[in-house]
Structure 1
Amino acid sequence: MSGILLDSPLSRLGYLYATLVGLAWGALWSTGRIERRNGLFVFTGMPNWTFGRGGSCVGACYLTRTNVNDEVLEHEAVHKRQWQRYGMLFPVLYALSGFDPLRNRFEIEAGLEKGGYLRARQSAPRRH
């Protein structure tokens, strides 16, 4: 069953559909720069109500107001890969995993620090 659903033509079709939705939504509401970075279509200047938390990945689209830096884009690129793997099952699986990012397996896989959910770990001071 997983061969039919995961990383399959069916999941790829769901990913492409989600990307089209993200492109339309981003084009409709973005008032900022639109660019292609880290394999993502990045839409900035989005009204806060058009995305979740600091930004949302929909297919290959990252929708945000201003939350764009290299680490966040690395985090969102993992979400893009999750969309590719699970297709339209991804939002369902994400919701079932819970909306607490510290316990959500998809956020953990994408990297809690890069996603801004945890502070970057400080390296221990060197002893001389």
Structure 2
Amino acid sequence: MRLRQLIGEVALDSSLSRLGCRFATAVALLYGAPLSVGRIERHDGMIVLHGLPKWAFKRGGVCIGRVYLTDTNVSSRVLRHELRHVRQWERYGMLFPVLYFLAGSNPLKNRFEIEAGLADGNYVRTGGGRRKAS
């Protein structure tokens, strides 16, 4: 139990996790900025890159570090949802993509999407499945 606590202190909400978030932010900017044909703006410490092609992300957009990559999916509710993902990146750092993958691709069961707010993320049920509305 002590080892688990020590790992948590070093890896979660730590300078190491924040360094991972900064690294992910740099990667996202290097990836997204050249693809963006829209505005680049700041929103409560998050960088929002508009106008990316649909193939550049899944669903309505993706948050990597402090960067939200999207085409036009920028309602106030969606931005609130993505800001919660920024907080998750800060808490988990580079562990976040691994933990997110392990949580599964179904957003209605993925603990990180639930924590970020399914309604704000615009997740809806459709007749035979689930999708993220644009």
Q: TM-score, normalised by structure 1?
A: 0.90
The structure 2 residue matched to 1:22, chosen from 28, 46, 49, is: 28
Paired residue type of 2:110: N
Paired residue type of 2:55: W
Query: Which runs of no fewer than 5 residues in structure 2 stay unpaired?
Result: 1-6, 126-134
The structure 1 residue matched to 2:104, chosen from 98, 102, 115, is: 98
Q: How does 1:37-76 map to 2 (within 5 A)?
A: 37-76=43-82
Question: 2:89 aligned with 1:88, yes or no?
Answer: no
Question: 2:85 aligned with 1:79, yes or no?
Answer: yes
Q: TM-score, normalised by structure 2?
A: 0.86
Following the alignment from structure 1 to structure 2, what is the Cα–Cα distance between the partners of residues 35 and 8? 27
Could you tell me which residue of structure 2 aligns to residue 117 of structure 1? 123
Question: 2:34 aligned with 1:10, yes or no?
Answer: no
Structure 1 stretches of 4+ moved >2 Å: none
3-state secondary structure, aligned to 1:93: helix
Farther-moved stretch of structure 1 (77-86 vs 22-31)? 22-31
Farther-moved stretch of structure 1 (74-83 vs 30-39)? 30-39
1:30-75, Cα deviation, whole Å (9 max, x unpaired): 0011111132100011011111210000000000011011000000
Query: Which runs of no fewer than 5 residues in structure 1 stay unpaired?
Result: 120-128
- Pairs aligned (count): 119
Deviation at 1:27, TM superposition (A): 1.0
Following the alignment from structure 2 to structure 1, what is the Cα–Cα distance between the partners of residues 45 and 16? 21
Task: Report the RMSD for the aligned CA atoms in angstroms.
Answer: 1.0
Paired residue type of 2:68: Y
Paired residue type of 2:54: N
